[in-house]
Structure 1
Amino acid sequence: MSADASRDVDVAVVGAGITGLALTHALAERGVPSVALEATDEAGGVIDSKPLDDGLVAERGPNRIRLTEGVERLVDAAGLRDDLLVADDDLPLYVYAGGRLREVPFDLSTLVRTDLLPWHAKLRLLAEPIADDVRSDESVGHAVRRLVGETTYRNLVEPIFGGTYGSDPDRMPVEHALPALRRLRAEHGSLLPPLFRRLRGAGETPPPVSLPGGLQRLPTALADRYDDRVRLGTPATGIERDGDRYVVSTPDGRVTADDVVLTVPAPAAADLLDGVAPTSAAALGELTYNPLAIVTMYSDARREGFGYQVRRTESLRTLGVSWHHSLFGRTGQYTAFLGGMADGRIVEMDPEDVGEIAAEEFEVVMDAAAHVRDVAQMTDALPAYDESWAALDRVSLPDGLTLATNYTARVGVPGRVREAERVADDLA
């Protein structure tokens, strides 16, 4: 924006991450005048890619995206359909447990043969339908233990689910962290029917995708397409009520809008809402995030698969490793994730020391040396979905203000795109 670049629009979108850009696209398609305000000079938010030498890419945020219908529409809008790198969704995923990699069962034959779950744990799954219903006030950890037993929880659910969010499932209320658990139980009376439908190949998930040069090419291309609606380097500094409308202040001008949609992290949203919705702002300020370190490495290891998660009882600080080598043809690239709720100090360490830990632990698991290419450390990387999420019960915004975020709905790019489309429908 220039110094006199005040705007009058129907919708002001705060943030040009993937949610804000998906919303911008959806509003444009519905003919709704809007402007998106992004504080930084780059679009993308948590999608942050850094191309390296030799075709490697440091993905400092999401490492891949599921090609759902909503994501597919965005890819087409960005003109990137022909550039998509599509991974084989049948590749195995592993858990490092008991000193070796063990395959995660995604089909019946793998369930039978995998040594990740001993036979007593596999037989324990048959008792799941007679367990009590899942309660919204219990933790994911407690619910899963009741449903499938301690061994399956420790060997499978805790490293996969807890490792993905960097959280402790025992501190993640079902209501906020995994509401689908209650829904599936309520619809089927058991988790086994939807499980076995998947084992028979029904309802297959969309494939994981990426882009040459990194995932950030998607938000960058969307921001370029809608350069008349997206203002980079233009932070929103305040929101005020002006009769039935809102005024969003920026260093370069004022945006007047009927509706304001905030797509930014909770601390930033709390600051902006303090003057118009102080109770909600205070509640958002209570939400906690988990720290994360992402280490991009090169190795001569040549394994095929999605990668691995690490069982929490192992003596490693690594949460998991994604194998870009086999997923997207980035020869020799592996990305390690460290930190989370139980290891917050990892982001306070010297980056070289973090890289050294990642490389040493990679060699322990993969029996191959790794060379660190990039280290990114983020204090507030992942919504914790812990007990602090109860504060959302106190969030009630005035008409015309909307939160479209990964802490009020689902995390993950497909979920962000779905919410953006839903919000656009409501506003249109």
Structure 2
Amino acid sequence: MPVAAGTGRERDGNDADVAVVGAGITGLALTHALAERDVTSVTLEAADEAGGVIDSKPLDDGLVAERGPNRVRLTDGIERLVDAAGLREDLLVADDDLPLYVYAGGSLREVPFDLPTFLRTDLLPWYAKFRVLAEPLTGDVRPDESVGHAVRRSFGRTAYRNLVEPIYGGTYGSDPDRMPVKHALPALLRMQGEHGRLLRPLLQRAIADREAPPPVSITGGLQRLPDALAARYADRVRLGTPATGIERAGERYVVSTPDGPVTADEVVLTVPAPAAADLLGGVAPTSAAALGELTYNPLAVVTMYSDARREGFGYQVRRTESLRTLGVSWHHSLFGRTGQYTAYLGGMEDEKIVEMAPEDVGEIAADEFEAVMDAAAHVRDVSIDRHALPAYDESWAALDRLDLPDGITLATNYTARVGVPGRVREAECVADDLA
């Protein structure tokens, strides 16, 4: 029988150093990192498939409905996971110099990522560009003010309405006026503390992002990554095995499952806040109540085929336009999936759309795509998730009440950085702490 690293205690299949709850990308990255550090672990996943929010459905003609993230940056952590999964030869690499647009005033207008584009784009009129450059004359961003208020005060109303609101608010499906800076944009405060003002570090960051690891996908869809990792660690990952409760057993924890209890020194929860709240009720009731207050935004994802042949990352939609679409990704030019476009609808301001029939949501997406792109679109897949995106709104103040007992860790997108690379980095940090 294997001996756990550093404990001298024999383990069996239901006894481990670490119990990981959730086999999304965070849980699987943690599983991989613990295995590399010779730490025994058991990963429990309620669904029959791994991946969590990474959810790919291959369609005909080489198209792939990405119902969750549609691309990731090939950071060092992602690269290590890709190699561990044996998928290096299946990477699809996008051109990071492709333009991104905002649909505003009836036209697609280019987002400025560099000075030449800033000078020529008609997304910001000349007076708004001068207002952006006046940011050093404004006061410091405050942790408790909203992202919307902070940006308007620092860069002006037009830059907020035409640039920040559609890109940032649209990405998270939230209203920036309801997103406190300290929860939604902690990096903004760090940059301000380091540089004194925001304009220069934001420009440097925008330029650096264009030199960052490229966006990638995987032939057949991003879900192949968690699927391959779950297969590699089949001796550690238990699919179709939900954790139903957590109890203290002396200095250890017992995680209940339908297949019997799992005993571990440490428990790491990588699941959404409502699921974590349910599990923590018996061992950390105050933290469970706090997590139960966090709100999520709904999202509808519509995969379409079109003969449109535009080159770019896609576009976000200004909120003042008469469209319900938040944005559209152009898989056609990103990853060579000929004719594929993915539209996103819903969010905090349009929750009712996810209560509609999928075919009606698809019709709205296709009609609005044609209005923007002047080309017909044919719906291939519609996915609706009523709790898709952490809102990072006022409810996040509840996190101040978190008081987890020793041996319980949250590794999640609502307590740390969002995005797949951020999830992988956190998983590696947690593994280092536990090892």
**Are 1:165 and 2:172 an aligned pair?**
yes
Cα distance in structure 1, aligned partners of 2:264 and 2:201: 44
Matched-pair contact (CA < 8 Å) for 2:96–2:210? no
Cα distance in structure 1, aligned partners of 2:47 and 2:90: 26
Aligned to 1:358: 365
Cα distance in structure 2, aligned partners of 1:346 and 1:421: 38
- Could you tell me which of 333, 338, 351 is aligned with 1:326? 333
Classify the secondary structure of the residue corresponding to 2:150: helix
What stretches of structure 2 of length at least 5 have no aligned partner? 1-11
Matched-pair contact (CA < 8 Å) for 1:13–1:34? yes
Classify the secondary structure of the residue corresponding to 2:39: coil
1:336-347 maps to which residues of 2 (within 5 A)?
A: 336-347=343-354
Cα distance in structure 2, aligned partners of 1:109 and 1:312: 26
Cα distance in structure 2, aligned partners of 1:180 and 1:216: 29
Matched-pair contact (CA < 8 Å) for 1:133–1:182? no
Cα distance in structure 2, aligned partners of 1:17 and 1:346: 27
**Are 1:400 and 2:407 an aligned pair?**
yes
Matched-pair contact (CA < 8 Å) for 1:197–1:203? no
Aligned to 1:81: 88
**Are 1:145 and 2:137 an aligned pair?**
no
Tell me the amino acid that sits aligned with residue 384 of structure 1.
A
**Are 1:218 and 2:225 an aligned pair?**
yes
Classify the secondary structure of the residue corresponding to 2:261: strand
Q: CA 1:201 to 1:170, structure 2 compared with 1: closer, same or farther past 3 Å?
A: closer
Cα distance in structure 1, aligned partners of 2:285 and 2:216: 41
Listed one character per residue, the Cα deviations across residues 145-164 of structure 1 (whole Å, up to 9, x for unaligned) are: 11100000000000000000
- Could you tell me which of 38, 57, 81 is aligned with 2:64? 57
Cα distance in structure 1, aligned partners of 2:142 and 2:173: 23
Aligned to 2:28: 21
**How far off is 1:203 after superposition?**
7.6
Q: CA 1:386 to 1:202, structure 2 compared with 1: closer, same or farther past 3 Å?
A: closer
1:151-300 maps to which residues of 2 (within 5 A)?
A: 151-198=158-205, 204-300=211-307
Cα distance in structure 2, aligned partners of 1:179 and 1:206: 22
Cα distance in structure 2, aligned partners of 1:116 and 1:202: 20
What do you get for the CA RMSD once the two structures are aligned? Answer: 1.1
**How far off is 1:192 after superposition?**
2.5
Listed one character per residue, the Cα deviations across residues 266-285 of structure 1 (whole Å, up to 9, x for unaligned) are: 00000000011111001100
Cα distance in structure 2, aligned partners of 1:238 and 1:73: 33
**Are 1:384 and 2:391 an aligned pair?**
yes
Aligned residues: 424
**Are 1:349 and 2:356 an aligned pair?**
yes
Cα distance in structure 1, aligned partners of 2:209 and 2:399: 35
**How far off is 1:196 after superposition?**
4.0
Cα distance in structure 1, aligned partners of 2:279 and 2:333: 43
Cα distance in structure 2, aligned partners of 1:201 and 1:416: 21
Q: CA 1:54 to 1:200, structure 2 compared with 1: closer, same or farther past 3 Å?
A: closer
Tell me the amino acid that sits aligned with residue 76 of structure 2.
E
**How far off is 1:346 after superposition?**
1.1
- Could you tell me which of 405, 411, 417 is aligned with 2:424? 417
Classify the secondary structure of the residue corresponding to 2:431: helix
**How far off is 1:206 after superposition?**
1.3
Listed one character per residue, the Cα deviations across residues 270-318 of structure 1 (whole Å, up to 9, x for unaligned) are: 0000011111001100000000000000000000000000000000000
Cα distance in structure 2, aligned partners of 1:200 and 1:312: 26
Tell me the amino acid that sits aligned with residue 345 of structure 1.
K
Matched-pair contact (CA < 8 Å) for 1:6–1:253? no
Q: Which consecutive aligned stretches of 4+ in structure 1 deviate over 3 angstroms post-superposition?
A: 195-203
Aligned to 1:48: 55
Cα distance in structure 1, aligned partners of 2:228 and 2:149: 43
- Which TM-score applies when normalising by structure 1? 0.98
Matched-pair contact (CA < 8 Å) for 1:89–1:207? yes
Matched-pair contact (CA < 8 Å) for 1:198–1:204? no
**Are 1:71 and 2:78 an aligned pair?**
yes
Cα distance in structure 2, aligned partners of 1:73 and 1:107: 30
Aligned to 1:374: 381
Matched-pair contact (CA < 8 Å) for 1:246–1:256? yes
Q: CA 1:211 to 1:274, structure 2 compared with 1: closer, same or farther past 3 Å?
A: same
Cα distance in structure 1, aligned partners of 2:209 and 2:151: 24
Matched-pair contact (CA < 8 Å) for 2:113–2:207? no
Classify the secondary structure of the residue corresponding to 2:228: helix
Cα distance in structure 2, aligned partners of 1:202 and 1:44: 26
Listed one character per residue, the Cα deviations across residues 153-212 of structure 1 (whole Å, up to 9, x for unaligned) are: 000000000000000000000010001111111111122222443576688221100011
Classify the secondary structure of the residue corresponding to 1:105: coil
Cα distance in structure 2, aligned partners of 1:89 and 1:230: 35
Cα distance in structure 2, aligned partners of 1:196 and 1:100: 25
Listed one character per residue, the Cα deviations across residues 88-117 of structure 1 (whole Å, up to 9, x for unaligned) are: 000000000000000000111100100000
Cα distance in structure 1, aligned partners of 2:49 and 2:203: 44
Aligned to 1:307: 314
Matched-pair contact (CA < 8 Å) for 1:297–1:374? yes
Q: Percentage identity across aligned positions?
A: 83
Cα distance in structure 1, aligned partners of 2:22 and 2:245: 13
Matched-pair contact (CA < 8 Å) for 1:239–1:249? yes
Cα distance in structure 2, aligned partners of 1:252 and 1:292: 33
Listed one character per residue, the Cα deviations across residues 6-34 of structure 1 (whole Å, up to 9, x for unaligned) are: 61100000000000000000000111000
Matched-pair contact (CA < 8 Å) for 1:128–1:148? yes
Cα distance in structure 1, aligned partners of 2:31 and 2:138: 45
